[in-house]
Structure 1
Amino acid sequence: MTTLLAAAVDLAAIALLTFGVYFPRHRRRDLVTAFLGINIGVLAVAIVLGSTTVGAGLGLGLFGVLSIIRLRSDEISQHEIAYYFAALGLGLIAGLGGTPDSTTAGLMLLIIVGLWIGDHPALFRRYRNQQLRLDVAYTDEDALRTHLETLLGGRVTSMVVRQVDMVNDSTLVDVRYVAPAAGRAPQEPGLRQRVNAA
């Protein structure tokens, strides 16, 4: 009965995290499957480990190795990594926590609320991150910063030049900036860009 209750609490928590927080904001269907699968798998193995003589430390170590392999096998963003580990954490708490009580439920709720707040669209919504390829080879950082602020219509907070190609006359730069309150400025002609994350 305890095991069934733990599974029910875990399923409610992962459903709230996946369908109530993640999917409405990001709409990535493949990661819904990943979050549900990893959570239920971790829950099942954690329950088995908790009922045998195998140490919980060994189980946690195995999950760590598996998560590293999973995260290296496909490129996912930082906020998706947070959801991934939240799904792992929910399964571990439910599976190794014993009889579900207020502490277990509170910890699981804390994970969900933490991600709900941390990933809320209203939180730092004017702060952006982009990778841009410019059709000019910039060697002067001040000139580059001025050009980026004019181009993006916002204040550049940091920039990292990844590549300056003098032959093809281009610059690849990672830029973090604060977008203007009224929206982004129009892009100049000749700009090629790839957006990493907003």
Structure 2
Amino acid sequence: MFLGMSLMSDDFYKLVFRFFVNLLFITLIIRFIYFVKTPRRNYLFTFYLISVITFMICFALKKLDIDTGMGLGLFAIFGIIRYRTNTMKIREMTYLFIAIGISVVNALAGRQVSYAELMFINITVLVIVYILETWLLSGTESSKSIVYEKIENIKPENAEILKADLENRTGLVINSFQIGNVDFLKDVAEIKIFYFQAEQADYHDSEA
């Protein structure tokens, strides 16, 4: 025992085994089903990290004797993610969730949680965030919303014409686009375009 906590417990091996089982199936669902149909890298980052943080919090809190009031208080903490005044991007929201989750685990960890388990939780989250940011998601997808006036190009059969016109006007290499509200009275449509920042640098370098 050190400062009221054991260095390692038998539950450490359960934590490691269950974590990798969870990570395996989350990867199968997110990377090989969701991402194939909807290649949004920012959402991959969010899905992975929320899954990891939720797993770690539930595993840690399962070992703690918390009452109903404490449980409701934890839900109130996570409630501030939704009730906010300033709009935050999904990546920043994910980091906020990570910060809150890690803080909750570290603050509530008691003698039921060993130092090995606590360090595994913190280091695993750190490593996964680093890997996602610097390796898997290095080509982060960005988006812009624009108002488009050539409304005849929004027809499905004119998709390639629309994409070429959007790329010519914006100077961006567009990965995909979504057509939003259409105003036939004003002959305009709201279009959200998606592009990768890294590809823009490569594109402009080749043009030079």
TM-score band by shorter chain is: 0.5 to 0.7
On the 8 A contact 2:173/2:203 being kept in 1, the answer is: no
Structure 1 partner of 2:129: 115
Shift in Å at residue 152 of structure 1? Answer: 4.3
Task: Map residues 141-180 of structure 1 onto 2, 5 A cutoff.
Answer: 141=156, 142=159, 143-153=161-171, 155-178=173-196, 179-180=199-200
Where 2:154 maps in the other structure, the secondary structure is coil
Shift, 1:96, TM fit: 2.6
Q: Quick one: distance in 2 between partners of 1:151 and 1:122?
A: 30
Distance 1:80 1:60, change over 3 A: farther
TM-superposed deviation, 1:140:
1.8
Gaps of 5+ in 1: 4-45, 186-198
Task: Give the aligned partner of residue 17 of structure 1.
Answer: none
Structure 1: distance between partners of 2:115 and 2:106? 10
Deviation per residue, 1:129-177 (Å, 9 max, x gap): 2222224334324132232233345554332211222333322111223
CA contact (8 A) 1:131 1:175 kept: yes
Displaced runs of 4 or more, over 6 A: none
Q: 1:108–1:101: structure 2 CA closer, same or farther, 3 Å change rule?
A: same
Task: After TM superposition, give the deviation of residue 105 of structure 1 in Å.
Answer: 1.4
Aligned partners of 1:91 and 1:167: how far apart in 2? 52
Give the counterpart letter for 2:187 in structure 1.
D
CA contact (8 A) 2:132 2:138 kept: no
**Who is 1:127 aligned against?**
141
Residue 182 (1) aligns with residue 202 (2):
yes
The count of corresponding residues between Structure 1 and Structure 2 is: 139
Q: What is the aligned counterpart of 1:80 among 92, 109, 113?
A: 92
Counterpart of 2:105 (choices 90, 93, 110) is: 93
Sequence identity percentage: 16
Shift of 1:104: 0.4
Among candidates 140, 149, 155, match of residue 140 of structure 1: 155
Contact in 2 for aligned 1:131/1:173 (Cα 8 Å): yes
The structure with the largest strand share of the pair is 1
- Secondary structure, aligned partner of 2:127: helix
Q: Which structure 2 residue ranges, 5 or more long, are not aligned?
A: 5-59
Q: CA RMSD in A?
A: 3.6
- Indicate how the Cα distance of structure 1 residues 122 and 154 shifts in structure 2: closer, same or farther if over 3 A, else same: farther
